[in-house]
Protein backbone atom coordinates (compact mmCIF):
# COMPACT_ATOMS: atom_id res chain seq x y z
CA UNK A 1 0.00 0.00 0.00
CA UNK A 2 2.83 2.34 0.95
CA UNK A 3 4.70 1.49 -2.25
CA UNK A 4 1.58 2.27 -4.29
CA UNK A 5 1.24 5.71 -2.70
CA UNK A 6 4.95 6.39 -3.25
CA UNK A 7 4.66 5.50 -6.94
CA UNK A 8 1.60 7.70 -7.32
CA UNK A 9 3.36 10.63 -5.64
CA UNK A 10 6.45 10.08 -7.81
CA UNK A 11 4.42 10.10 -11.04
CA UNK A 12 2.57 13.23 -9.90
CA UNK A 13 5.87 15.01 -9.26
CA UNK A 14 7.21 13.94 -12.66
CA UNK A 15 3.98 15.11 -14.31
CA UNK A 16 4.18 18.53 -12.66
CA UNK A 17 7.84 18.91 -13.60
CA UNK A 18 7.09 18.07 -17.24
CA UNK A 19 4.13 20.46 -17.30
CA UNK A 20 6.23 23.23 -15.77
CA UNK A 21 8.87 22.58 -18.42
CA UNK A 22 6.30 22.94 -21.20
CA UNK A 23 4.89 26.07 -19.54
CA UNK A 24 8.34 27.65 -19.35
CA UNK A 25 9.04 26.67 -22.96
CA UNK A 26 5.80 28.37 -24.03
CA UNK A 27 6.25 31.48 -21.90
CA UNK A 28 9.97 32.02 -22.54
CA UNK A 29 9.53 34.09 -25.76
CA UNK A 30 7.06 36.36 -23.97
CA UNK A 31 9.34 36.70 -20.93
CA UNK A 32 12.30 37.46 -23.22
CA UNK A 33 10.22 40.12 -24.98
CA UNK A 34 9.40 41.78 -21.65
CA UNK A 35 13.03 41.57 -20.55
CA UNK A 36 14.32 43.08 -23.80
CA UNK A 37 11.86 45.98 -23.62
CA UNK A 38 13.55 47.18 -20.41
CA UNK A 39 17.14 46.77 -21.64
CA UNK A 40 19.20 49.74 -22.84
CA UNK A 41 20.41 49.62 -26.44
CA UNK A 42 23.92 48.53 -25.42
CA UNK A 43 22.62 45.43 -23.63
CA UNK A 44 20.35 44.51 -26.54
CA UNK A 45 23.28 44.64 -28.98
CA UNK A 46 25.60 42.72 -26.66
CA UNK A 47 27.29 39.69 -28.22
CA UNK A 48 26.52 37.76 -25.01
CA UNK A 49 22.77 38.25 -24.52
CA UNK A 50 21.39 37.82 -21.03
CA UNK A 51 17.86 37.31 -19.77
CA UNK A 52 18.53 39.40 -16.66
CA UNK A 53 18.39 43.17 -17.19
CA UNK A 54 21.49 44.81 -15.71
CA UNK A 55 20.43 48.45 -16.14
CA UNK A 56 16.62 48.70 -16.51
CA UNK A 57 15.29 51.64 -18.49
CA UNK A 58 11.93 52.96 -19.71
CA UNK A 59 13.55 54.69 -22.68
CA UNK A 60 11.99 52.40 -25.29
CA UNK A 61 8.49 52.82 -23.85
CA UNK A 62 8.90 56.61 -23.85
CA UNK A 63 10.11 56.56 -27.46
CA UNK A 64 7.21 54.37 -28.56
CA UNK A 65 4.60 56.57 -26.89
CA UNK A 66 6.07 59.96 -27.82
CA UNK A 67 8.13 59.55 -31.01
CA UNK A 68 6.10 57.08 -33.04
CA UNK A 69 2.54 56.59 -34.27
CA UNK A 70 1.87 53.83 -31.74
CA UNK A 71 -1.08 55.62 -30.11
CA UNK A 72 -2.66 56.13 -33.54
CA UNK A 73 -2.24 52.44 -34.34
CA UNK A 74 -3.67 51.55 -30.92
CA UNK A 75 -6.72 53.77 -31.44
CA UNK A 76 -7.31 52.30 -34.91
CA UNK A 77 -7.13 48.75 -33.56
CA UNK A 78 -9.60 49.53 -30.78
CA UNK A 79 -12.03 51.03 -33.28
CA UNK A 80 -11.78 48.12 -35.72
CA UNK A 81 -11.88 45.42 -33.02
CA UNK A 82 -14.92 46.92 -31.27
CA UNK A 83 -16.76 47.33 -34.58
CA UNK A 84 -15.97 43.73 -35.58
CA UNK A 85 -17.11 42.47 -32.17
CA UNK A 86 -20.45 44.28 -32.27
CA UNK A 87 -21.17 43.37 -35.90
CA UNK A 88 -20.17 39.73 -35.37
CA UNK A 89 -22.40 39.40 -32.31
CA UNK A 90 -25.34 41.03 -34.08
CA UNK A 91 -25.13 38.58 -36.98
CA UNK A 92 -24.21 35.53 -34.90
CA UNK A 93 -27.09 35.92 -32.45
CA UNK A 94 -29.72 35.70 -35.19
CA UNK A 95 -27.81 33.08 -37.20
CA UNK A 96 -27.23 30.93 -34.12
CA UNK A 97 -30.89 31.17 -33.15
CA UNK A 98 -31.98 30.17 -36.66
CA UNK A 99 -29.66 27.15 -36.71
CA UNK A 100 -30.87 26.12 -33.26
CA UNK A 101 -34.63 26.51 -33.69
CA UNK A 102 -35.45 26.10 -37.39
CA UNK A 103 -33.96 22.62 -37.71
CA UNK A 104 -36.93 21.21 -39.62
CA UNK A 105 -35.91 23.22 -42.69
CA UNK A 106 -33.36 21.33 -44.77
CA UNK A 107 -31.89 24.56 -46.15
CA UNK A 108 -31.04 25.72 -42.62
CA UNK A 109 -29.14 22.50 -41.92
CA UNK A 110 -27.25 22.82 -45.21
CA UNK A 111 -26.36 26.41 -44.36
CA UNK A 112 -24.99 25.30 -40.99
CA UNK A 113 -22.84 22.61 -42.59
CA UNK A 114 -21.54 25.12 -45.15
CA UNK A 115 -20.56 27.54 -42.38
CA UNK A 116 -18.74 24.75 -40.55
CA UNK A 117 -16.88 23.67 -43.68
CA UNK A 118 -15.83 27.27 -44.33
CA UNK A 119 -13.69 27.12 -41.18
CA UNK A 120 -11.45 24.57 -42.90
CA UNK A 121 -10.35 27.14 -45.48
CA UNK A 122 -7.30 29.20 -44.39
CA UNK A 123 -8.11 32.89 -44.51
CA UNK A 124 -4.89 33.69 -46.35
CA UNK A 125 -6.20 31.80 -49.41
CA UNK A 126 -8.89 34.46 -49.76
CA UNK A 127 -6.47 37.37 -49.40
CA UNK A 128 -6.09 38.14 -53.11
CA UNK A 129 -9.80 37.71 -54.03
CA UNK A 130 -10.85 39.88 -51.09
CA UNK A 131 -8.25 42.49 -52.01
CA UNK A 132 -9.60 42.67 -55.57
CA UNK A 133 -13.15 43.01 -54.25
CA UNK A 134 -12.16 45.77 -51.82
CA UNK A 135 -10.25 47.53 -54.59
CA UNK A 136 -13.26 47.30 -56.93
CA UNK A 137 -15.60 48.89 -54.36
CA UNK A 138 -12.95 51.47 -53.36
CA UNK A 139 -12.49 50.29 -49.76
CA UNK A 140 -8.70 49.94 -49.74
CA UNK A 141 -7.12 52.09 -47.01
CA UNK A 142 -10.38 52.26 -45.08
CA UNK A 143 -11.52 50.75 -41.79
CA UNK A 144 -14.48 49.19 -43.59
CA UNK A 145 -12.25 46.79 -45.53
CA UNK A 146 -10.83 45.34 -42.31
CA UNK A 147 -14.16 45.29 -40.49
CA UNK A 148 -15.86 43.39 -43.33
CA UNK A 149 -12.98 40.93 -43.75
CA UNK A 150 -12.58 40.19 -40.04
CA UNK A 151 -16.32 39.83 -39.52
CA UNK A 152 -16.46 37.32 -42.37
CA UNK A 153 -14.01 35.04 -40.56
CA UNK A 154 -15.37 35.46 -37.02
CA UNK A 155 -19.10 35.03 -37.64
CA UNK A 156 -19.09 31.23 -38.34
CA UNK A 157 -17.42 30.22 -35.06
CA UNK A 158 -19.34 32.81 -33.04
CA UNK A 159 -22.54 31.45 -34.57
CA UNK A 160 -21.79 27.89 -33.53
CA UNK A 161 -20.76 28.97 -30.03
CA UNK A 162 -24.11 30.71 -29.56
CA UNK A 163 -26.04 27.90 -31.26
CA UNK A 164 -24.61 25.44 -28.76
CA UNK A 165 -25.95 27.53 -25.90
CA UNK A 166 -29.33 28.18 -27.53
CA UNK A 167 -29.73 24.41 -27.95
CA UNK A 168 -29.52 24.04 -24.16
CA UNK A 169 -32.26 26.61 -23.47
CA UNK A 170 -35.64 24.87 -22.89
CA UNK A 171 -38.29 25.59 -25.51
CA UNK A 172 -40.82 26.03 -22.69
CA UNK A 173 -39.27 29.41 -21.88
CA UNK A 174 -39.96 30.63 -25.41
CA UNK A 175 -43.45 29.17 -25.50
CA UNK A 176 -44.34 30.95 -22.26
CA UNK A 177 -43.04 34.24 -23.64
CA UNK A 178 -45.02 33.79 -26.88
CA UNK A 179 -48.20 33.14 -24.89
CA UNK A 180 -47.61 36.46 -23.14
CA UNK A 181 -47.51 38.19 -26.53
CA UNK A 182 -43.73 38.51 -26.94
CA UNK A 183 -42.51 38.71 -30.54
CA UNK A 184 -39.71 36.55 -31.93
CA UNK A 185 -37.20 39.40 -31.84
CA UNK A 186 -38.34 40.45 -28.38
CA UNK A 187 -37.96 36.85 -27.23
CA UNK A 188 -34.34 36.81 -28.37
CA UNK A 189 -33.40 40.08 -26.69
CA UNK A 190 -35.51 39.73 -23.53
CA UNK A 191 -35.30 36.00 -22.82
CA UNK A 192 -32.36 34.36 -24.58
CA UNK A 193 -29.64 37.01 -24.44
CA UNK A 194 -29.84 37.70 -20.67
CA UNK A 195 -29.38 34.00 -19.86
CA UNK A 196 -26.66 33.52 -22.50
CA UNK A 197 -24.27 36.15 -21.15
CA UNK A 198 -21.31 33.72 -20.74
CA UNK A 199 -21.60 32.58 -24.36
CA UNK A 200 -21.94 36.17 -25.56
CA UNK A 201 -18.79 37.15 -23.67
CA UNK A 202 -16.87 34.17 -25.07
CA UNK A 203 -17.98 34.99 -28.62
CA UNK A 204 -17.17 38.67 -28.11
CA UNK A 205 -13.67 37.84 -26.85
CA UNK A 206 -13.03 35.58 -29.82
CA UNK A 207 -14.15 38.27 -32.28
CA UNK A 208 -12.19 41.01 -30.51
CA UNK A 209 -8.94 39.02 -30.26
CA UNK A 210 -9.20 37.86 -33.87
CA UNK A 211 -9.42 41.48 -35.04
CA UNK A 212 -6.82 42.72 -32.54
CA UNK A 213 -4.11 40.20 -33.42
CA UNK A 214 -4.62 39.86 -37.19
CA UNK A 215 -1.65 40.93 -39.30
CA UNK A 216 -1.90 39.86 -42.94
CA UNK A 217 -5.14 41.60 -43.98
CA UNK A 218 -4.21 44.75 -42.07
CA UNK A 219 -0.80 44.78 -43.75
CA UNK A 220 -2.20 44.32 -47.28
CA UNK A 221 -5.43 46.33 -47.14
CA UNK A 222 -4.03 49.39 -45.34
CA UNK A 223 -1.12 51.37 -46.79
CA UNK A 224 -2.01 54.66 -45.13
CA UNK A 225 -0.29 55.15 -41.77
CA UNK A 226 -3.26 57.13 -40.45
CA UNK A 227 -5.50 54.05 -40.80
CA UNK A 228 -2.96 51.34 -39.98
CA UNK A 229 -3.80 49.01 -37.10
CA UNK A 230 -1.55 47.95 -34.26
CA UNK A 231 -0.07 44.64 -35.41
CA UNK A 232 1.06 45.85 -38.86
CA UNK A 233 2.09 49.15 -37.23
CA UNK A 234 4.46 47.40 -34.84
CA UNK A 235 6.11 45.82 -37.87
CA UNK A 236 7.29 49.30 -38.93
CA UNK A 237 9.94 49.18 -36.19
CA UNK A 238 11.57 46.44 -38.25
CA UNK A 239 13.63 48.14 -40.95
CA UNK A 240 15.19 46.81 -44.13
CA UNK A 241 18.77 46.97 -42.83
CA UNK A 242 18.30 47.63 -39.12
CA UNK A 243 15.70 46.78 -36.49
CA UNK A 244 14.92 48.88 -33.43
CA UNK A 245 14.58 45.88 -31.12
CA UNK A 246 13.97 47.96 -28.00
CA UNK A 247 11.02 49.84 -29.49
CA UNK A 248 9.76 46.68 -31.19
CA UNK A 249 9.67 44.78 -27.90
CA UNK A 250 8.24 47.72 -25.94
CA UNK A 251 5.40 48.21 -28.42
CA UNK A 252 4.70 44.47 -28.38
CA UNK A 253 4.46 44.50 -24.58
CA UNK A 254 2.05 47.44 -24.68
CA UNK A 255 -0.10 45.71 -27.30
CA UNK A 256 -0.44 42.62 -25.10
CA UNK A 257 -1.66 44.50 -22.02
CA UNK A 258 -5.33 44.85 -23.15
CA UNK A 259 -5.47 41.14 -24.01
CA UNK A 260 -4.05 40.11 -20.63
CA UNK A 261 -6.47 42.37 -18.77
CA UNK A 262 -9.38 41.01 -20.78
CA UNK A 263 -8.51 37.42 -19.87
CA UNK A 264 -7.99 38.29 -16.20
CA UNK A 265 -11.38 39.96 -15.82
CA UNK A 266 -13.42 37.70 -18.12
CA UNK A 267 -11.81 34.31 -17.62
CA UNK A 268 -14.83 32.95 -15.74
CA UNK A 269 -17.23 34.00 -18.49
CA UNK A 270 -14.91 32.56 -21.13
CA UNK A 271 -14.81 29.10 -19.52
CA UNK A 272 -18.57 29.07 -18.93
CA UNK A 273 -19.28 30.28 -22.45
CA UNK A 274 -17.06 27.70 -24.14
CA UNK A 275 -18.68 24.84 -22.20
CA UNK A 276 -22.24 26.17 -22.01
CA UNK A 277 -23.60 24.10 -24.87
CA UNK A 278 -21.70 20.90 -24.06
CA UNK A 279 -24.53 19.53 -21.89
CA UNK A 280 -28.08 19.91 -23.08
CA UNK A 281 -30.73 20.30 -20.42
- CATH of residue 68: 1.10.3720.10
Q: Which helix (H) or strand (E) holds 42?
A: helix 41-44
Q: What backbone phi and psi angles, to 5 degrees, belong to 140?
A: -65, 140
State the total domains in the chain. Answer: 1
Contact residues for 60 (Cβ-Cβ < 8 A; gap 6+): 37, 38, 246, 247, 249, 250
Is there a domain that residue 239 lies in?
Answer: yes
Q: Range of 189's domain?
A: 59-274
The predicted pLDDT at position 78 comes to: 95
The predicted pLDDT at position 279 comes to: 45
pLDDT tens digits for the chain (281 residues)? 555 667 777 788 888 999 999 999 999 999 999 999 999 988 888 878 788 888 889 999 999 999 889 999 999 999 999 999 999 999 999 888 888 877 777 776 777 777 777 778 888 888 999 999 999 999 999 999 999 999 999 998 888 888 888 888 777 777 777 777 777 778 778 878 888 888 888 899 999 999 999 999 999 999 888 899 999 999 888 876 788 888 999 999 999 998 888 888 877 766 665 555 544 44
The predicted pLDDT at position 135 comes to: 93
Contact residues for 186 (Cβ-Cβ < 8 A; gap 6+): 177
Is there a domain that residue 17 lies in?
Answer: no
Contact predicate 206/157, CB 8 Å: yes
Is there a domain that residue 10 lies in?
Answer: no
Is there a domain that residue 280 lies in?
Answer: no
Is there a domain that residue 153 lies in?
Answer: yes
Is there a domain that residue 33 lies in?
Answer: no
DSSP class of residue 189 equals: I
The predicted pLDDT at position 269 comes to: 67
Is there a domain that residue 144 lies in?
Answer: yes
Is there a domain that residue 197 lies in?
Answer: yes
The predicted pLDDT at position 5 comes to: 67
Amino acid sequence: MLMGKSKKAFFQIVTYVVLLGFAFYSLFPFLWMVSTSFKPAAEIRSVTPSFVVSHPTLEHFVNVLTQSSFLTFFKNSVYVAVAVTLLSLLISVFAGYALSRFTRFRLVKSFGVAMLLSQMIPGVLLLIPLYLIMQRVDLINTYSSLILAYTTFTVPLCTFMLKGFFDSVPLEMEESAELDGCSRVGLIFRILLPVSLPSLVAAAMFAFLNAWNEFMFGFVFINDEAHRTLTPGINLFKGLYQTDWGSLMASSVLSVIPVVLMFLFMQRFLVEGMTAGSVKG
